[in-house]
Amino acid sequence: MMHVSAIPAFDDNYIWAIQPYDGADAIIVDPGDDQPVREWLRHHDVGINAILITHHHWDHTRGLLPLLEDYPVAVYGPRISNIEGVSHPVGHGDRFSLMGDVTFTVFATPGHTLDHICFYTPGHAFVGDTLFSAGCGRMFEGSPKQFYESLQCLAELPDVTSVYCAHEYTEANVKFALAAEPTNDALRQYAEQVRALREHRLKTLPSTIGIEKAINPFLRAKSSEHFAELRRWKDQF
């Protein structure tokens, strides 16, 4: 059974470590800081098999080159970007396998940035800053239409798919979601679960596609215009 571990970094980032089985070397997703990754590897007595990069922002990439000095592995990242250290540029629809039978499909998800991609392997989606639980990333480079279509692409994944976002933003996102959908019973129940987890400083991730389709106003937007309105409101919330 696949193991996915959260490596906390900075104030609210998660770097994800994927192990196809217990004790296997890890596939590292978005290493913004190499030190917590090194500590996690030492603690688990494993190495790195490969690295996945979702987009160019520094808090997802700054630890990449330092890690490559000691772990010269394959790095998969967005083809339309020019991220130093990426050895295997990939784009929408590309597929690749790691460690024998772990196959990833790449989805282009522009919106937060133009180069943003997500990595999907059955049961697990590594979505960077495109989709957060009860929210989505800020729209720094893309258009509302692009971002809306990116979210709809992720919404088509099976409901049971675990969603691994790169930030612990859920509590703040839920407050906005409740303002946007105050009569959403599923959201109100989810808000209570999130509150209880954060009271004990426990992580709220991963979520699932099914949960997000029920509680996330951005994933539930009916059009790119509706999405744009929500995104503008959230930016000022």
Q: Which of 25, 30, 33, 55 is catalytic?
A: 55
Rounded to an integer, what distance in angstroms lies between the CA atom of residue 82 and that of residue 66?
17
Domain ranges for the chain, please list them: 3-236
Instruction: Give the residue numbers of the binding site.
Output: 55, 57, 59-60, 112, 129, 167
Indicate if 129 belongs to the active site.
Answer: yes
Q: Which residue of the set 33, 56, 60, 115 is catalytic? A: 60
Strand, coil or helix: what is 130?
A: coil
| Nearest residue to 129 via CA among 139, 121, 120 | 139
* Residue 56 annotated to the active site: no
pLDDT above 90 (res 101): no
User: For 150-169, how does the pLDDT look when each residue is reduced to its tens digit (9 = 90+)?
Assistant: 999 999 999 999 999 999 99
C-alpha of 115 from chain center: 14
Question: If pLDDT is split at 50, 70 and 90, which confidence band does 228 have?
Answer: very high
Is the pTM above the cut of 0.95?
A: yes
Residue corresponding to tokens 């893309």: 142
Integer CA distances (angstroms), 143 to 78, 79, 88, 128, in order? 18, 19, 27, 18
Q: Report the pLDDT value the prediction gives residue 100, as an integer from 0 to 100.
A: 83
pLDDT at residue 57, rounded to an integer? 98
* 60 labelled catalytic: yes
- To the query of whether residue 226 is one of the catalytic residues in this protein, the response is no
Q: Per-residue pLDDT for 85 more than 90?
A: yes
Paired residues of 106 in beta bridges: 119
116 among known catalytic residues: no
CATH superfamily for 3-236 is Ribonuclease Z/Hydroxyacylglutathione hydrolase-like (3.60.15.10)
Active site residue 185: no
Residue 1 has pLDDT above 90, yes or no: no
Distance CA 206, CA 162 (A): 6
